[in-house]
Amino acid sequence: MIIGHQKQWKILEKSAETGKLPHAFLFSGQEKLGKKRVAFEFISWLFEKDADFIEHPRQSRDIEKGIHPDFIFLEPANKEIQISQIRELSWKLSLKNVSAPLKAAIIDRAHSMNQEAQGCLLKTLEEPKGRTVLILVTEHPKTLLPTIISRCQTIKFYPVKYPEIENYLISKGMGKADAEEIAQISLGRPGLALDFLLDPQKIETYRAIISDLLKIFNTGLSFRFQYVKNISDSAKDNVSNKAKEILEIWLGYLRKILLSKIQGREDENFKNFSLAKLKKFIEELQRTIFLTSTTNINQRLALENLMLEL
């Protein structure tokens, strides 16, 4: 089920029904907005438009699992999508479709393609073979070659209105008060709301991370550096994912605080931070998230440098 994004869906639906389906789409927007979900749903819908496919409804579930013979799902291996993966993708797309009306593929976190992989993909986009649809999903479209972007139809995704997320959570059996809280802290990102729905412990983790953030903003450098050390020590080999989770929560929360400041509603915990200083920290936070997500930068050093910005 898609939560929100009705406008984006109508654009996709119209492109198929009018016979103007492009070979490639670029789905861009923040993480956990539901871009990948829409991509899966759209490809399933395209396949189901074919009469033979309708006779085999199980195949729609196979798309979700990434095991359908006419569908390819590609994601980073060790933070990076390599040229070998793109070459295999191009080869699979060139094969004759088995049961669906076309060949289709999703490249998740397309910004993870290295330069060689992007160059290889460009050749596929320039010379598509047969009837194919390729969907690139990314929260960092600027990292892609301009020539790749120019050969895709870009569909931008935006945060979903809180009531839509709240109503969905209630429809799944969640109480109104809890649904309202999760809709608020998810900041318009259905994927994050679903994480909270499926794992209630994540709500407590969120609250603990925000509590730590408030301490960091109102204490000295020694506490901040100790906090970074604790993350590194507790996460061990999974520092990258742990840091990204924390920083993403910080970013969402601080964006809300920034908006409140702009609107003249002062938060007691941030009254000593000017609008300019808060904006600068958010910019550095975004940069750190990007670096820790897309490069092999030293995670602990990146976090310590971020602490120096306060």
Residue 52 pLDDT more than 70? no
pLDDT band of residue 178 (cuts 50, 70, 90) is very high
Position 39 scores a pLDDT of 96
- Residue 74, beta-bridge partner list: 107
Helix (H, G, I), strand (E, B) or coil at 93: helix
More confident residue, 310 or 224: 224
pLDDT band of residue 61 (cuts 50, 70, 90) is low
pLDDT band of residue 176 (cuts 50, 70, 90) is very high
More confident residue, 19 or 239: 19
Position 219 scores a pLDDT of 87
pLDDT band of residue 147 (cuts 50, 70, 90) is very high
Lowest-confidence range among 15-29, 41-55, 205-219? 41-55
pLDDT tens for residues 80-89? Answer: 999 999 999 9
For residues 108 and 43, give the distance between their C-alpha atoms in angstroms, rounded to a whole number.
14
More confident residue, 273 or 52: 273
For residue 302, give both structure tokens.
């990146």
Residue 237 pLDDT more than 60? no
Angle of CA points 262, 251, 268, to nearest 5°: 50
Residue 11 pLDDT more than 70? yes
Question: What's the rounded mean pLDDT across residues 103-112?
Answer: 95
Lowest-confidence range among 258-267, 275-284, 291-300? 291-300
> For the residues of 183-230, what is the DSSP string, one character each?
HHHTTT-HHHHHHHHH-THHHHHHHHHHHHHHHHHTS-HHHHHHHHHH
Residue 3 pLDDT more than 90? yes
Position 238 scores a pLDDT of 61
Closest CA to 3 of 199, 195, 248, 133: 195
Question: What's the rounded mean pLDDT across residues 59-68?
Answer: 72
pLDDT band of residue 53 (cuts 50, 70, 90) is very low
Q: What is the β-pairing status of strands 153-156 and 24-28?
A: parallel
Position 268 scores a pLDDT of 85
pLDDT tens for residues 88-100? Answer: 999 999 998 888 8
Residue 57 pLDDT more than 60? no
For residues 262 and 164, give the distance between their C-alpha atoms in angstroms, rounded to a whole number.
26
For residues 214 and 110, give the distance between their C-alpha atoms in angstroms, rounded to a whole number.
34
Position 267 scores a pLDDT of 87
Question: What's the rounded mean pLDDT across residues 173-188?
Answer: 92
The DSSP output letter for 118 is H
Distances (CA, A) of 188 to 6, 165, 197, 218: 14, 7, 14, 28
- Give the dihedral of Cα atoms 215, 220, 222, 226; nearest 10 deg: 10
Residue reference for tokens 């990292």: 143
Instruction: For residue 93, give the amino acid letter.
Output: L
Residue 20 pLDDT more than 90? no
Residue 4 pLDDT more than 90? yes
Question: What's the rounded mean pLDDT across residues 181-194?
Answer: 92
Position 236 scores a pLDDT of 60
Domain annotation for the chain: domains and CATH numbers? 6-156 (3.40.50.300), 199-307 (no CATH)
Please name the residue ranges forming H helices in the chain: 6-17, 35-48, 51-54, 58-65, 83-94, 115-126, 146-150, 162-171, 176-185, 190-198, 201-217, 221-235, 239-262, 275-294, 299-307
Position 135 scores a pLDDT of 98
What mean pLDDT value characterizes the chain?
89
Rg (CA), the chain: 21
Closest CA to 207 of 160, 161, 246, 242: 246
Residue reference for tokens 């910080």: 250
Position 51 scores a pLDDT of 46
Position 54 scores a pLDDT of 47
For residues 235 and 160, give the distance between their C-alpha atoms in angstroms, rounded to a whole number.
32
